Amino acid sequence: MSDDTTPAPSSGASDNLPAPAPASGSAQPAATDGDNRYKAVQQKLKSLAGALDESTSRLGRLRSRMSSNADRAQTLAAHISDADLDTVFVEMTSAVSTALGGAALELRRLLATAEDLSSLTETTRAGHSKYYSALDEVRTGRKYRTPKPGFFN
């Protein structure tokens, strides 16, 4: 009789895939806790920019590996063709090369979007600082608490 907690043997090809690499950076997801104080917003924007910078680095490496693998698959398709194997193998390997090349192109677009978003996040952080840093200095320097926004409306 088998134990119910024992995993069944798997014959899937995904068993040979390596586990995803853990994130190497220190960027943490920004908390969405509704804390809109100046320093909290600045920290959230800084965390977002850091996460985007890390993602652009990782996406760049992934795009490079995909392009390299697409080239290798195309070379392999040529070798298979030169070895006079069945054309179905040449066609399949060529299709893999084309798919990897297309994915690499789309990754380039995603990478450009992430870079733009990172730049916009830094711009937003600087603008937020420009408009609200003086107010934060006044509010944190006061001896007494100030009313919440909208109190005088």
Predicted confidence (pLDDT) per residue in 33-82, tens digit: 777 888 999 999 999 999 999 999 999 999 999 999 999 999 999 999 99
Within a domain: 145: no
Which is more confident, 21 or 121? 121
- Predicted structure pTM score: 0.65
Helices 87-141, 38-82: crossing angle, 10 deg rounding:
170
Provide the residue range defining the domain that includes 45: 35-139
Query: Is 23 contained in some domain?
Result: no
50-62 burial string, b = 16+ CB within 10 Å, else e?
bbbbbbbebbeee
Q: Assess whether pLDDT exceeds 80 at residue 120.
A: yes
In a domain, 42, yes or no: yes
Answer whether residue 15 is part of any domain.
no
For the chain, what is the mean pLDDT? 83
pLDDT at 2 over 60: no
**How many domains does the chain divide into?**
1
pLDDT of residue 56: 94
Asked whether residue 2 is assigned to any structural domain, the reply reads no
In a domain, 95, yes or no: yes
Q: Residue 6: which residues within 8 A CB-CB, separation 6 or more?
A: none
For residue 68, is it within any domain? yes
Give buried/exposed letters for 104-135 (b at 16+ CB in 10 A, else e): beebeeebeebbeebeebbeebeeeeeebeee
Residue 67: Cβ-neighbour burial (10 angstroms; 0-12, 13-18, 19+): middle
In a domain, residue 153? The reply is no
Q: How confident is the model at residue 108 (pLDDT cuts 50, 70, 90)?
A: very high
Q: What are the phi and psi torsion angles at 95 (to 5°)? A: -65, -40
SS3 (DSSP) at 146: coil
Per-residue pLDDT for 11 more than 60? Answer: no
pLDDT greater than 50 at residue 6? no
